Structure 1
Amino acid sequence: MSLDLMLVLGLLIAAVAMFSLGRPRADAVGLSMMVALPFTGVIEMREALAGFSNPNIILIAAMFVIGEGLARTGIAKGLGDWLVARGGKSETRLVAMLMLMVGALGSVMYSTGVVAIFIPVALRIAQSTGMSPSQVLMPLSFAALISGMLSLVAAAPNLIVNYELVRTGTEGMHFFTLTPIGLPILLLGVAYMMFARRWLKDDRTAGGASGPAAGKQASLGDWVEAYGLADRELRVRVRPGSPLMGQPLSRIQGQLGLEAGLEPPPQPVVLAIERKRPLRAALIAPDAATEIAAGDILLIDSPTPIAEPAARCQALGLEPLPLSGAYFTDRAQEVGMAEVMVPAESRLLGKTLAELRRLSALDLSVIGLRRGQTAHTPEQLREDRLRPGDTLLLVGPWKAISQLRGDRRDLIALNLPKEFDEVLPAARQAPFALLALAVTVGLMVLDLVPAVQAALIGCLLMGLFRVIDLDSAYRAISLRTLVLIAGMLPFGIALERTGGIDLAATTLVALLGEAGPYVILATLYLVTVLIGLFVVAAANAVLVIPVALALAAELGASPYPFAIMVALAASSAFMTPIAPPNAMVATAGNYRFADYLRIGLPFVLIVMSVSLVLVPWLFPFY
């Protein structure tokens, strides 16, 4: 083994270790490898950066934009309402239809976007049928993972595998190359979940009226009780001559003053202001620049006691007003709440609740957090940092809450109270979004233009029809995913030049060559799945596909069955909550790691068995 190969393998082992530990973030690992590989002398810096010029990077970005366009038009609600109406009260029919619908949409969108769209739909199904959410959400995430096996653009590993096939001089895959394999797997997945979901009888949600795991739709009163809001409300009137008059809200909250000894203290938040109008008092959602006027009534959420409240109010010219403990329910027409989930791509990850108490850009305030089945106040978790899957309780005007459905990057609207009576965003552009999608898929299927050009045409049509604007399009693109893939792609070049790929292929053939290509194919699938327990799917495909193609060359066999098996295995992350679709439903479904292992392992073996039959049949070895 040469020194160059040892250096490259050392970096590869370090990358896998960092992926396994989850520190630093996956995209930071990719960026670090991009910088470190040129120091080995195996590749130049321009080659380390070449991943950003890869057409598949642009294609992935374009598909993020198209997926966001489908989400912004309200198509999800229409699908969910149609599903519930057609499925009736039959649990089996509803879960089957949900999985088929997720699989179909996931074939033209990435799985995280599909899960974000359908989590609220799945919870509505659970509420309407009385099912446990745990019996609906895992079928949802499994269907999203399977959707990656249905088309060329459904998952990043497929595009990486296709790129390597083309790069090595082989004709790449077509849009529907994987469909004859993925479709039977999806149907088997539906049948399997009809049986396996019974192992997910929810015995961990008793007493949990605070979140979506509850058997019925929560009301504002439920959340007031679950999060202890009645003991935290403070309502005061601003007297004439108060020193607070004319000051922006950003200064007011700091002057209320909390008890000493809390570091860092979660500041009180002015949730709403009742302001006199000529005809009637109006409730306004304040922001940092809102100036206080005489006669304003401030509704304040203070998770920690205010030091000497009577003296403090007198000094600030405030008049304490009585509260019944049911303020939120009394003002339900103006003040609303929502439980939202923090997704894996959120820019809020790593922030503390003290930093997020006021989401000024959304006109909403964070007043509680649910991790698992336990509701916490900002005071209880003031130093904890947000994790993927955390559920936040937000309060603010209904208009702002209804707008939460338009942006699923940072927060996903998870659970809305019974009082929510606002309609979803207007779906006037939905026909144009579907037209843009049809044009994109049609161009890809007919192979009239390259896939990346077809996707860019779809993006332009989305913009032309005002389905999505440029700012929203840029926000929809997951730079984390792009940087991760571009950063890991140079490993394939480095391992190829140092002989690492040939060495791995030769070793596997020497160990398994006598067993025949079927055993080698099964081993390749299992190795890819095992690596996927620790490494994200895109990086997994980058690492394994060169070895798979080298194996085919060693055996003198067609590269297609080996390449396609890697693509299927990279999407088979059913046994771990690390996979983004599984991570996004973990908290809402109250799943443990053992749940994924118990349900996922048998299905991994089923997928492998089906693949070993279909792949060589459709794509012969010789």
Structure 2
Amino acid sequence: MDNSVLTSEMLIVFGLLGFAIILFVFELLRVDIVGLLMMVLLPLLGVIEPQDALAGLSSNAVVSVIAVMIIGAGLNRTGVMNVVASKIIKLAGRGEKQIMLVVATVVAIISSFMQNIGAAALFLPATMRICRRLNISASRIIMPMGFAAITGGCLTLVGSSPLIMLNDLMASWWANNSEAVGGSQFVPLELLSITPVGLVLLACVLVYFAVFGSRLLPADMCEIDEDCMDKRLQEIYGSVVGDGYELEVPLSFRPKSLGELELRSQFNITVVGIAKNEGYVKNLAPVMDSVVGPGDVLWIISSKEKIEKVADAYGWRIKKQHEIFAEENSPDESGVIEGVVIPHSNLSGHTMAELRFRDLFQVNPLAIVRGDEIIMENINVTTLLQGDTILLQGRWQRFELLRQKMDIAFIEEVKGEQFLPERTRSAMFFVVLSLVLALSFHIKLSIALLTGALGMIITGVIAADRAYEAVDWRTVFLLSGLIPLGAAFEQTGAAAYLAERVMSVVGTPNSLVLLLVVSMLSAFFSLLASNVGAAVLMVPLAMNMAVEVGVNPVVAGIAVAMSASNTFILPTHQVNALLMRPGGYRTKDYMRAGIGITIIYTVVLVACLAMFYDL
């Protein structure tokens, strides 16, 4: 089998591969810049043709990622992902570990019948929404979800590209090596032939993160950024205005109006919500006449010190986290923003009480800033002056109405966007259409997904400009640069050379050692090149080795195809690359979590193959 000769092109590829790994590990450049660098260096050094270096930009994987991002944004625009998030929270509760297990399991099941990159990208908006709503760091959920999506591709023969190709690759080898197998006929694998092994692998991934996830995953990536209250607002108002709390009113409490309670004048706090009948009735902009009764739940903006004084004074219970107002408290639904009273504004020269500000706009004023003074008391009856800044809390869509009617200028862009539930049927139609085209009519995945994305744009589910904004171009360029590097690894013969060197060292192994070596080689090539390339290269090589040592060649082929999903150590797999930025991960985060699961995956796979199949 020792046929390959080390060439200068191979040396260049090995050098670029090592260079890319160093850049990834030590984070000397952004990951997308590393991808672009590979795209440029490969043709400049004469390893591959320019058209091959640029082929990643139009590859099936990259176009599929772009289309799925647009589809996901369209579903999010209709509120579908909000519904999905609510269902998962209802099923799993509010615990971080339970949420992780349910999300990962659902994505793995979806991944078993569609490309894992599509399953991960499609579910990413719902996962981000769940994390924001429950105030869970997304970094604790997204990586397990991604690893489960990759492993879920091993549950059926249509879950990943190597498994889809497996029967064809094995049949081709069988036709050319009929004498080696005694002239027997090749029996293709069925859809669920590998399911028992896939289920065990998935269970190992889930248990691994359930037990070790808290130690291996980043502790907390939720910094004050675009998903949290603006850092500047926190610095200016944080100690004065405070944060949001839920308080439960006991059943013994005698009903009183907010005016009678005088909470703002006594404690400088703001009641921004009152929930009655266990949350079925909510008032998100209560006024002085709003009544607080027994069993009610209040949503209050306050400092910790003040909220404790209020609770002690009235016997109310402070909840550990938002429950009744969890959805409304999500950064996707509501937030805090500064508005400036501009010249000729309808607010200038009036009080908010005169304008029935809360009644009409359902927005809660928290403070008025006038010069260096922060006014907290009597803000509803304070005459607003040109240049005043009002700190406001409310739902994002209400701010848009306020801007239109009151000529107020917001210092920051209003972050939320109004849902279009009336477009839900249209959005779901194009999602189903994409899946049907890909699964039933065998239309190329990228074309099927682009059909759904384009349909959403044409029918107004998502605007064209918003569709472009929904694409994470860092991920696109990272993938586009890694694809030609993988192609160069195969085209120059570097992959075959490395495989032959390893096999020559191993010699004539027993069945378990053979499966272990085949699994490790396949995982290595998939990690650094592509899972499809690894399958094409390793399936015939592994089956030849299996025949030589008396092992069932079909089992060796299965080992290759399933090991092609063992790509957890580096963010080079399409799923890992997609989730790297939303999860706030660095390369070392993948290495820390991925080394353990890579070892477990390999050992369990070999053990399961020996257990479930006749070697």
Q: Same fold (TM over 0.5)?
A: yes
Query: Which of 136, 140, 143 does residue 141 from structure 1 map onto?
Result: 143
Q: Which residue of 1 aligns with 2:34?
A: 29
| CA–CA distance in structure 1, aligned partners of residues 471 and 496 of structure 2 | 36
| CA–CA distance in structure 1, aligned partners of residues 442 and 104 of structure 2 | 31
The answer to whether the Cα contact below 8 Å between 2:10 and 2:493 also exists between their aligned partners in 1 is: yes
The answer to whether the Cα contact below 8 Å between 2:71 and 2:456 also exists between their aligned partners in 1 is: yes
Q: Which residue of 2 aligns with 1:274?
A: 341
Deviation at 1:81, TM superposition (A): 1.9
Q: Which residue of 1 aligns with 2:542?
A: 552
Indicate how the Cα distance of structure 1 residues 397 and 117 shifts in structure 2: closer, same or farther if over 3 A, else same.
farther
Q: Which residue of 2 aligns with 1:324?
A: 375
1:124 maps onto 2:133 in alignment: yes
Per-residue CA deviations over 1:483-524 (Å, capped at 9, x if unaligned) read 333433344454445432222111111223433464354446
| CA–CA distance in structure 2, aligned partners of residues 72 and 12 of structure 1 | 40
The answer to whether the Cα contact below 8 Å between 2:63 and 2:446 also exists between their aligned partners in 1 is: yes
1:60 maps onto 2:68 in alignment: no
Residue correspondence of structure 1 range 430-579 to structure 2 within 5 A? 430-516=424-510, 518-523=512-517, 525=519, 541=531, 548-549=538-539, 551-552=541-542, 555=545, 557=553, 560-571=557-568
Deviation at 1:569, TM superposition (A): 1.0
The answer to whether the Cα contact below 8 Å between 1:274 and 1:281 also exists between their aligned partners in 2 is: no
The answer to whether the Cα contact below 8 Å between 2:434 and 2:448 also exists between their aligned partners in 1 is: yes
Aligned length: 454
1:402 maps onto 2:416 in alignment: yes
Q: Which runs of 5+ in 1 are unaligned?
A: 127-132, 232-269, 285-298, 302-318, 340-362, 364-394, 404-423
Q: Which runs of 5+ in 2 are unaligned?
A: 1-5, 174-187, 243-336, 353-366, 383-387, 397-402, 404-408, 548-552
**What letter corresponds to residue 460 of structure 1 in structure 2?**
L
Deviation at 1:169, TM superposition (A): 10
Query: Which of 66, 82, 85 does residue 80 from structure 1 map onto?
Result: 85
Q: Which residue of 2 aligns with 1:612?
A: 606
Per-residue CA deviations over 1:349-407 (Å, capped at 9, x if unaligned) read xxxxxxxxxxxxxx9xxxxxxxxxxxxxxxxxxxxxxxxxxxxxxx958991323xxxx
Residue correspondence of structure 1 range 197-212 to structure 2 within 5 A? none
| CA–CA distance in structure 2, aligned partners of residues 497 and 18 of structure 1 | 23
**What letter corresponds to residue 32 of structure 1 in structure 2?**
L
**What letter corresponds to residue 449 of structure 2 in structure 1?**
A
| CA–CA distance in structure 2, aligned partners of residues 113 and 492 of structure 1 | 26
Indicate how the Cα distance of structure 1 residues 603 and 477 shifts in structure 2: closer, same or farther if over 3 A, else same.
same
Helix, strand or coil for the counterpart of 2:419?
coil
Q: Which protein is bigger by CA-based radius of gyration?
A: 2
The answer to whether the Cα contact below 8 Å between 2:107 and 2:119 also exists between their aligned partners in 1 is: no
Indicate how the Cα distance of structure 1 residues 80 and 525 shifts in structure 2: closer, same or farther if over 3 A, else same.
same
The answer to whether the Cα contact below 8 Å between 1:337 and 1:396 also exists between their aligned partners in 2 is: no
Residue correspondence of structure 1 range 51-200 to structure 2 within 5 A? 51-88=56-93, 94-104=99-109, 107=116, 109=118, 111=120, 114-125=123-134, 133=136, 138-151=140-153, 158=160, 182-196=198-212
1:7 maps onto 2:12 in alignment: yes
Deviation at 1:77, TM superposition (A): 1.6
The answer to whether the Cα contact below 8 Å between 1:30 and 1:484 also exists between their aligned partners in 2 is: yes
Deviation at 1:549, TM superposition (A): 4.8
**What letter corresponds to residue 341 of structure 2 in structure 1?**
E
| CA–CA distance in structure 2, aligned partners of residues 581 and 228 of structure 1 | 35
Per-residue CA deviations over 1:20-57 (Å, capped at 9, x if unaligned) read 33333333333333333334444333333344454444
Indicate how the Cα distance of structure 1 residues 483 and 147 shifts in structure 2: closer, same or farther if over 3 A, else same.
same
The answer to whether the Cα contact below 8 Å between 2:569 and 2:595 also exists between their aligned partners in 1 is: no
The answer to whether the Cα contact below 8 Å between 1:38 and 1:48 also exists between their aligned partners in 2 is: yes
| CA–CA distance in structure 2, aligned partners of residues 197 and 573 of structure 1 | 17
Helix, strand or coil for the counterpart of 1:119?
helix
Per-residue CA deviations over 1:559-611 (Å, capped at 9, x if unaligned) read 843542343112566999x9664664469xxx9978984x6555444433443
Deviation at 1:147, TM superposition (A): 1.2
Indicate how the Cα distance of structure 1 residues 177 and 570 shifts in structure 2: closer, same or farther if over 3 A, else same.
farther
The answer to whether the Cα contact below 8 Å between 1:153 and 1:175 also exists between their aligned partners in 2 is: no
Instruction: Output the aligned Cα RMSD.
Output: 5.7
Deviation at 1:435, TM superposition (A): 2.3
| CA–CA distance in structure 2, aligned partners of residues 328 and 20 of structure 1 | 53
Deviation at 1:300, TM superposition (A): 11
Helix, strand or coil for the counterpart of 2:339?
strand
Indicate how the Cα distance of structure 1 residues 473 and 551 shifts in structure 2: closer, same or farther if over 3 A, else same.
farther
Helix, strand or coil for the counterpart of 1:28?
helix
| CA–CA distance in structure 1, aligned partners of residues 133 and 570 of structure 2 | 26
Deviation at 1:448, TM superposition (A): 4.1
The answer to whether the Cα contact below 8 Å between 2:12 and 2:47 also exists between their aligned partners in 1 is: no
Q: Which residue of 2 aligns with 1:253?
A: none
**What letter corresponds to residue 373 of structure 2 in structure 1?**
P
Per-residue CA deviations over 1:84-136 (Å, capped at 9, x if unaligned) read 3344567775554343345456657364664454234135346xxxxxx46x8
The answer to whether the Cα contact below 8 Å between 2:68 and 2:449 also exists between their aligned partners in 1 is: yes
| CA–CA distance in structure 2, aligned partners of residues 449 and 49 of structure 1 | 23
1:428 maps onto 2:422 in alignment: yes
Helix, strand or coil for the counterpart of 2:513?
helix
| CA–CA distance in structure 2, aligned partners of residues 13 and 527 of structure 1 | 17
1:335 maps onto 2:409 in alignment: no
The answer to whether the Cα contact below 8 Å between 1:144 and 1:581 also exists between their aligned partners in 2 is: yes
Helix, strand or coil for the counterpart of 2:340?
strand
